[in-house]
């Protein structure tokens, strides 16, 4: 079935649906989580990732909401494997008319990403057969894509150590995240094959 492109109306529909469900992820967390799931060495079934996004809501989900989730999944998948992935974080305008990052949205995306990636990344990092340089590359990617899960105080301390403002540090990290995100699926594929934990059928 060919789904229509993920629309602004579907984005608003999912935001409302998720806000109404206890323990559900936010939309930005869902986007980070689905990015991690799509890049994973073995795919998750739709029902598995829906349960992680909005626990216990499957029976209460109407068709429009389900189609919106599927369209979001397809949009991220197409970006990852075909058109090129970019973080879905919006830029805000300050009262002076300057653009700045929505850091909370970045934080939510990183939280969702870590939730989706931690399990398989830890498994890959602990693979005895995996070369150190690939472990280092994977650890660096995880550190960058999960940067905004740091506490505000930790970000402030890092900014002070580097002699820049928190806003400048966040902007720099956002740009680096985009670079890591663009090649993350490819990195996972290389690491998974070289770990010898994974073959065409799944985890060994």
Distance CA(108)–CA(149), nearest Å, equals: 8
Six token digits for residue 82: 């075909």
Q: Whose CA is closest to 86, among 185, 5, 182?
A: 182
Q: What is the pLDDT of residues 40-90, one digit of tens each?
A: 998 889 999 999 999 988 777 899 999 999 999 999 999 999 999 988 876
Q: Phi then psi for 40, rounded to 5 degrees?
A: -65, 155
Model confidence, pTM: 0.91
Domain 8-203 carries which CATH code?
A: 1.20.120.740
Secondary structure (3-state) at 199? strand
Instruction: Give yes or no for residue 202 having a pLDDT over 60.
Output: no
pLDDT in tens, 99-110: 667 888 999 999
Report domain extents, the chain: 8-203
H/E element holding 92? strand 91-93
SS3 198: strand
């Amino acid at each position: 079935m060919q789904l229509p492109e993920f629309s602004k109306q579907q984005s608003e529909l999912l935001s409302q649906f998720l806000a109404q469900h206890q323990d559900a992820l936010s939309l930005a967390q869902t986007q980070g989580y689905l990015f991690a799931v799509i890049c994973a060495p073995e795919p998750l079934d739709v029902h598995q990732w829906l349960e992680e996004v909005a626990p216990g809501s499957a029976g209460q989900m109407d068709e429009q909401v389900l189609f919106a989730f599927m369209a979001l999944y397809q949009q991220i998948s197409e970006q990852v494997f075909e058109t090129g992935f970019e973080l879905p974080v919006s830029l805000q305008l300050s009262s002076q008319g300057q653009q700045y990052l929505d850091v909370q949205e970045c934080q939510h995306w990183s939280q969702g990403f870590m939730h989706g990636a931690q399990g398989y990344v830890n498994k890959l990092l602990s693979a005895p057969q995996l070369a150190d340089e690939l472990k280092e590359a994977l650890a660096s990617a995880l550190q960058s894509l999960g940067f905004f899960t740091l506490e505000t105080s930790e970000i402030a301390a890092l900014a002070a150590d580097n002699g820049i403002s928190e806003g400048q540090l966040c902007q720099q990290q956002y740009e680096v995240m985009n670079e890591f995100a663009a090649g993350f699926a490819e990195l996972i594929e290389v690491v998974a094959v070289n770990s010898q934990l994974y073959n065409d059928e799944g985890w060994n």
